[in-house]
Amino acid sequence: MEKKTLGMMIASLRKENGMTQLELAEKMGVTDKAVSKWERDLSCPDVNTIPKLAECFDISVDELMQVKADSQKADKKNIMPMVHLIMKAVALAMGVGVAVLSVLNELDATSGMGMLGIGLACLAVSCLSQKSEAQ
């Protein structure tokens, strides 16, 4: 389903319910000109009137605003590949840093072990989270 603007939703729902702009305006306590502006996306209803508008159409606010129940899951799935990439990049950066600093004799053993530990931890987190997503 293609996402509509709020104005398109209001116009569509108003027509589905067999209402004129004037009838909707009277229910909402606004002018028909205000409803016309909403439907043409020239203005939006006040945020405090959104629940009343949804009630006029006998739908939930989420339906009016086209909120999908699984939108948080979709967001999480979209961000996870980036998280894995960042974790792997940090691990690579730590490895390269240790190698370069060792060649330049600018790295003590404790710092090197710490950097490699960070890199390994990032790889472990990335691998474990990928494994849990697959299940």
Rounding to the nearest 10 degrees, give the CA dihedral for residues 87, 89, 90, 96. Answer: 150
For residues 85 and 128, membership in a common domain is answered with yes
SS3 sequence of the chain: CCCCCHHHHHHHHHHHCCCCHHHHHHHHCCCHHHHHHHHCCCCCCCHHHHHHHHHHCCCCHHHHCCCCCCHHHHHHHHHHHHHHHHHHHHHHHHHHHHHHHHHCCCCCHHHHHHHHHHHHHHHHHHHHHHHHHHC
Residue 1 covered by a domain = no
For residues 46 and 88, membership in a common domain is answered with no
Residue 43 covered by a domain = yes
For residues 11 and 35, membership in a common domain is answered with yes
Residue 117 covered by a domain = yes
What is the rounded distance in angstroms from the CA atom of residue 32 to the CA atom of residue 5?
Answer: 19
For residues 105 and 52, membership in a common domain is answered with no
Domain containing residue 19: CATH number: 1.10.260.40
| pLDDT for the residue numbered 12 | 93
Total domains in the fold of the chain: 2
What does the block give as tokens for 1?
A: 């389903």
Domain boundary among 64, 79, 109: 64
What is the rounded distance in angstroms from the CA atom of residue 50 to the CA atom of residue 101?
Answer: 60
For residues 50 and 87, membership in a common domain is answered with no
For residues 85 and 51, membership in a common domain is answered with no
| pLDDT for the residue numbered 134 | 65
- Domain extent, residue 120, equals 71-134
For residues 100 and 58, membership in a common domain is answered with no
Question: Would you give per-residue pLDDT tens digits along the chain (135 residues)?
Answer: 467 889 999 999 999 999 999 999 999 999 999 999 999 999 999 999 999 999 999 999 988 888 765 555 555 567 888 888 999 999 999 999 999 999 999 999 999 999 999 999 999 988 887 776 666
Residue 22 covered by a domain = yes
What is the rounded distance in angstroms from the CA atom of residue 115 to the CA atom of residue 94?
Answer: 6
| pLDDT for the residue numbered 81 | 84
Domain boundary among 41, 64, 87: 64
Residue 77 covered by a domain = yes
